[in-house]
Amino acid sequence: MTKKNIKIAVASGKGGTGKTTISTNLARAIAKNRRAAQYLDCDVEEPNGHIFLKPEIQKSKAVTIDVPEVDNEKCNGCGRCSDICQYNAIVSLKKVVVTFDQLCHSCGGCKLVCPTSAITDKAKEIGFVDIGVAKEIGFIQGRLNIGDIHTPPLIKEVKKAASSDSVIVIDAPPGTSCPVIEAIKDCDFVVLVTEPTPFGLNDLRLAVGMVRELKLPFAVVINRSDAGDDEVLKYCSKEKIDVALEIRDDIEIAKAYSKGEMIVDVAADYERGFIDLFDYIDKNIQLQEKLI
Amino acid sequence: MKELVVISGKGGTGKTSIVASLATLAEKAVLADCDVDAADLHLVLEPTIKRREDFIGGKQAFIVEDNCIGCGRCARICKFEAIEEKALSNGSKGSVYRVDTISCEGCGVCVEFCPREAIEFNEVVNGQWFISDTRYGTMVHATLGIAQENSGKLVSLIRREAKEIAKKENQSLIIVDGSPGIGCPVIASITGADIVLVVTEPTLSGLHDLERVVELARGFDLSIVVAINKYDLNPDMSDKIEAYALQNDIEVVGKIHYDKSVTKAQINRESLIEHGDSLGSTDIKEMWKRLSKRLSE
Ligand code: SF4
Ligand code: SF4
């Protein structure tokens, strides 16, 4: 049986390597030539996929997390809430309790330990999930409120909003810490985008360490492949990592990007590369399915 | 003492290359790499490590199998779905629970409520940080372990150390390579900075990210200046960014040409200034003059 609802994450050790370019064009190429596809912008601090896909947003919903609200009338000043909180998000000062919503991880500990039931949940808005369509593909993005730092819980909501009957392409946040882990942890395949420069190689090494730690299958895409040296290629062959696609440094692509245009629309010969990339990933995933 | 923090809405705008060039031009400064998720400054500045410390960001729960009776209370109260049931490792019947270290956020709620006190709660080393010598002065930098939290805490620690060093060495300038994005590490990078230099690109995404980052920095009441890197790649978009800056009363301190020497310099482990004369290096020198003026105000 072929697995239909495969989840592909596009990530990179650092930003600006072309993650959004790869993920938007990949989603478009899949939907046009293979199967139904959805694009999920999980780079919620800087969601940029909409610039290229120009979606029609059909609905937006606010995302909230639970933070504590303290009824100071009921509080007996025991201080157990501040004792259990590992993040200094709740501080008990004699007869009043002060909370810091930005530091709260919504673990619920303070509410559970409070002996007088003085603590209840309060919904705090952290951002939005927008759902819509962009031509032939489904489009979902998260937008973190400015000044808020609750990136992982918002990413979780973006992923929940996806429907399960099509290929999902996730534009992951950059880096190797909590937000990107949240975006890629249950994916079937990870595409790591890099550039052939010393910075690109260093960041790729970190990203490879991350996907290996999470035990996820992955391959590398080299963007601006002729713009630097061949150290990335050497590294990949030494580590036995597949380079699934190389995109050359093309001024036409850079121009299209700066204007918010899709590569597959301005230079049709690139579409083939994205279709091949998908076929490669699909084959890989179907193979693993058989092994299980 | 002044602290200059260089950030960019999105990554890959050339922020770190510009920081390396500014370090060259400043000649003497304390340097701090707060882009802890993708630290690259060391690739150009080739620091010699003088001091190395563990970074302890928080704690993590660990269930001692022998003491676990498999009641499942921890799994029910964990808000992070970090606790899963598993078979006993000695193969006998029944099940116990284990903590998935990647999902655990170290809140300690399970530790408090386990009826058998079967859960240990220990500090974990999330990374390491270093104080090093470079050809342009002392540098504070770090590596964060894979899949680790608390990058914001680490950023604050690096900036604090850099300030201590600047005081001790009587340095008048700290240059910080900040984090991208608008989340927790970048907030930790910019709060209290004297000048925030936002490096952007003349693209729609660049403008979009610039707007978000400026709004963020405004929220903290910081003094912001902008540099447009590779501005000649799309002059129309550069004009739009300049117009945006003008409307918001933000000085554009630098417009830097697209310059193929940037990659060459990186491959040679040099800053663009060290690499020799080029369009880009001339522009950065111009920018440094403006920045120095603002820093001395
Ligand atoms: S819910 Fe958890 S993190 Fe938030 S204030 Fe209470 S104890 Fe602290
Ligand atoms: S410490 Fe918190 S996050 Fe970790 S396992 Fe216990 S309840 Fe879950």
Interchain pair B58, A86: CB under 8 A:
yes
Query: Considering its fold, how many domains does chain B have in total?
Result: 2
CATH number at residue B238: 3.40.50.300
Same domain, B220 and B286: yes
Same domain, B148 and B190: yes
Same domain, B149 and B286: yes
Is B259 in the A-facing interface, judged by CB distances under 8 Å? Answer: no
Burial of A58 (0-12, 13-18, 19+ CB in 10 A): exposed
Mean pLDDT of chain B: 90
Say how many C-beta atoms besides its own lie within 10 A of residue B169's C-beta.
12
Is A260 in the B-facing interface, judged by CB distances under 8 Å? Answer: yes
Confidence of residue B150 (pLDDT cuts 50, 70, 90): low
Is B295 in the A-facing interface, judged by CB distances under 8 Å? Answer: no
Is the per-residue pLDDT at B247 higher than 80? yes
Same domain, B234 and B91: no
Q: Which CATH number fits domain A7-36+165-291: 3.40.50.620, 3.65.10.10, 3.40.50.300, 3.30.420.40?
A: 3.40.50.300
CATH number at residue B75: 3.30.70.20
Range of the domain at B15: 2-56+127-296
pLDDT in tens, B96-148: 999 998 889 999 999 999 999 999 999 988 889 999 999 999 999 998 887 66
Among A107, A111, A113, name the best residue to mutate to test ligand 2's pocket (greatest count of ligand atoms within 8 A of Cβ).
Answer: A107
- In chain A, domain spans: 7-36+165-291, 65-125
Residue B27: per-residue pLDDT = 81
CA A264 distance to own-chain centroid: 22
End of a domain among B80, B98, B117? B117
Task: Classify the C-alpha dihedral A112-A114-A117-A123 as positive or negative.
Answer: negative
Q: Which residue has the tokens 């998720």?
A: B37
The one-letter code for the residue type at B146 is I
What proportions of chain B, in percent to the nearest 5, are helix, strand and coil? 40, 30, 35
Token pair of B174, please? 């700290």
Same domain, B81 and B162: no
Confidence of residue B79 (pLDDT cuts 50, 70, 90): very high
Interchain pair A259, B204: CB under 8 A:
yes
Interchain pair B43, A202: CB under 8 A:
yes
Asked whether the beta carbons of A139 and A11 are under 8 A apart, the reply is no
Same domain, B30 and B152: yes
End of a domain among B76, B99, B117? B117
Token pair of B6, please? 């260089």
Distance CA B201, CA A230 (A): 26
0.80 exceeded by the pTM? yes
Burial call B221-257: b when 16+ CB within 10 Å, e when fewer: ebebbbbbbbbebbeebbeebbebbeeeebebbbbbb
A189 vs B91, more confident: A189
The one-letter code for the residue type at B107 is C
pLDDT in tens, A126-170: 999 999 999 999 999 999 998 888 899 999 999 999 988 899 999
Q: Count interface pairs A-B at CB distance under 8 A.
A: 168
Question: Quick check: is B200 in a domain?
Answer: yes
Question: Quick check: is B122 in a domain?
Answer: no
Same domain, B142 and B278: yes
Considering the segment(s) A65-125 as one domain, its CATH architecture is 2-Layer Sandwich (3.30)
End of a domain among B117, B137, B160? B117
Same domain, B154 and B220: yes
Question: Quick check: is B150 in a domain?
Answer: yes
